[in-house]
Amino acid sequence: MYRGRGGYRGGYKNNNYHNSNSSSNGFMNPQQSLDRANAFNSSNMVSVQIQGWTNASEPDLVSFISRKAKIALQNVESNRSTGVLTASVRNAHEAEEVRKCSGIRFAGATLNVQIIDPANGGRSQVTQNTVELLRSFLRTRFNPSAKMLDLTNMVNDPTLVQNGLFSNPNTSSKFFPALMKLANQDKLDIESVNLSDNLLDDHCKYLVDLAASYPNLKNLAIGNNNIRRMEFFDRLKTKFAYLRELIVSGNPIVATNDANILKGIVDIFPRLIILNGQQVRDESKVNAIFNFPVATKSMFFETPDLSKVAANFIATFLTMWDGQRLNLLQLYTPDSQFSYQVDTTHLGETPMSSTTNWSYYLSHSRNLKRVSGARPRMSRLYIGTEAIGKAFQGLPKTKHSLQEFPALYSMETTSFPPLNGMQITLHGEFNETGPPEHPAQDHRPTGRFNKYGSNQARGGQLEKRSFDRTLIVVPGPSGGFIVASDLLLVKPYAGNSAWLEHKAPAVAPIIPAVPANGVHQVLPNQVLPSDVASKLSAEQQQLVVKIMHETRLNLQFTIMLCEQSNWNYATAGQNFANSKSQIPPQAYQQ
């Protein structure tokens, strides 16, 4: 029997179960018993994570938890830079007791205690619990029928405060981006947001996060906060392009009702109509400016999506180029490039147009056929917002008529896969309306005609020019667009005949009789071209003939006027009267 027992122990040896520290009788020694007990206790221990304690020391927090929960924290590790302290307790029951300290004030802040879930890869329950908390908060604050998210006074919301979401800067800085991410994930259709009474200051980035999630927001309230400087609004340039109403009352920045401050805020948001309850723009004029009237015959877009995006972008771009040119710099980055060149050899509308004055352009024209050296070529390539801004100021002030007369312009838009963007090429014309803000200096000898055919001694002459402009536009970091490359070619005025499909036919100047009922009858010898008449109803044909006779517009512009007036005679007459001073000579019958 004894030998059998010995053989039994030998079997343990042969199967590598023998422990060299075991006693000869096969039982564990006292140290082994202690190690086994400690291992058992450790296997049942639960970790907790605590935030909101950094106003005090780690020992102070451990002592505070011990007094409040009557639980001893073990294996304490802390990181003051992140504001997170992790510790262990003996079991799930103790962990739950410690978690009850969440929401308690400690050293001037609010504690946030979460239990780390070992079944979730060792990650804390903070993420899971916070997601559910934020979703519940969104549900209580969102009005689907009004498309309104009311986030007023979040900083004092009992549920958010109790769960420590504003307990320290590290936690609060993550709160709002997470809230916007969930709103996007849940596809909340939001047009209006109220962020009043939230202690927002000049350094707060809530609105940047909001713009990233909802760039097309229409109404925003940020009243009764602590915004003091224009830099807060400067960060919002190119964001909230469709913002219609803004409330900023109750902030120190507008306490004095300074007109310059208010104007600066209005200028940042191109479609803003109402500021603090007061109308600041004529909404009908704003809509007219940004309602791009695409002339389909002279426009090409690779896809329908590109059509809408490119048309809106160009309408906004040219409006700002004509009126607020330096504000365009928000679309450019330190890596963006801009250059312009003059092509004086291009055939203009008249023989003398190629020899007109180019003194505002030539000194920095990057015409590679005339500028051959690498150094001068590079000196005329502007890179970064500072250099591009100086170049913008060196060019004459302008007025484009894209919205009023789209037929005078032609545009092609294609995708640009290397940068996930689009390439927009626009051809057309502009009128110079004023000299440059800071004319570029030309250090070449003056008082003679140079090889460009321009007398540099005389002052710049304001003229009508034709141009080609090619922009590479790519997505920006906050949901907007940035201009990666901008090439401008200026040339003598050449009209728009290059992209017209047909010339306007002559119409006999016969004055038709207008009966008492006001309905104009087409006389037999007033016949529209068959290809035009086939696309119009009899009533539309009659309107075209009547408008042509009364306005002396040619057929192409008459049809355009009728279409933009919804084929209404009275509206067409009013639109013609409002635009008469801007109608180009080529729009009339010859």
Do 82 and 36 belong together in one domain? no
End residue of a domain, out of 120, 135, 168: 120
Element (H, E) at 244: none
Most confident of 182-196, 297-311, 451-465, 571-585: 182-196
The pLDDT of residue 536 is: 85
Domain with 103 in it: 43-120
CA distances from 381 to 190, 326, 364, 366, 372 (A): 43, 18, 9, 7, 13
Question: What's the CATH code of the domain at 583?
Answer: 1.10.8.10
Cβ–Cβ < 8 Å for 552, 583: no
Do 494 and 512 belong together in one domain? no
- Confidence at 150, pLDDT banded by 50, 70, 90: very high
Structural domains in the chain (count): 5
Q: Sign of the CA dihedral 86, 90, 91, 94?
A: negative
Distance of CA 189 to the CA centre of its chain: 18
pLDDT digits (tens, 9 = 90+) for 540-565: 888 888 888 888 888 888 888 888 77
Report, in angstroms and rounded to the nearest whole number, the Rg of the chain calculated over CA atoms: 37
Task: Detail the DSSP E strand segments found in 372-519.
Answer: 382-383, 397-399, 410-416, 421-434, 464-475, 481-492
Give the residue-averaged pLDDT of 295-306: 72
User: Burial, 210: exposed, middle or buried (Cβ in 10 Å; 0-12, 13-18, 19+)?
Assistant: buried
Query: What 3-state class would DSSP assign to 256?
Result: coil
Do 83 and 12 belong together in one domain? no
pLDDT beyond 50 at 435: yes
Start-to-end CA span in the chain (Å): 130
Question: What's the CATH code of the domain at 66?
Answer: 3.30.70.330
Give the residue-averaged pLDDT of 398-421: 86
Do 240 and 346 belong together in one domain? no
pLDDT digits (tens, 9 = 90+) for 346-402: 665 554 444 567 888 888 888 888 888 888 889 899 999 999 999 999 999 999 988
Q: Beta-carbon neighbour count of residue 346 at 10 Å?
A: 16
Cβ–Cβ < 8 Å for 556, 500: yes
Give the residue-averaged pLDDT of 79-84: 78
The pLDDT of residue 110 is: 85
The pLDDT of residue 346 is: 66
Do 30 and 70 belong together in one domain? no
Query: What 3-state class would DSSP assign to 163?
Result: coil
pLDDT beyond 50 at 457: no
Do 302 and 413 belong together in one domain? yes
Question: What's the CATH code of the domain at 207?
Answer: 3.80.10.10
pTM of the model: 0.44
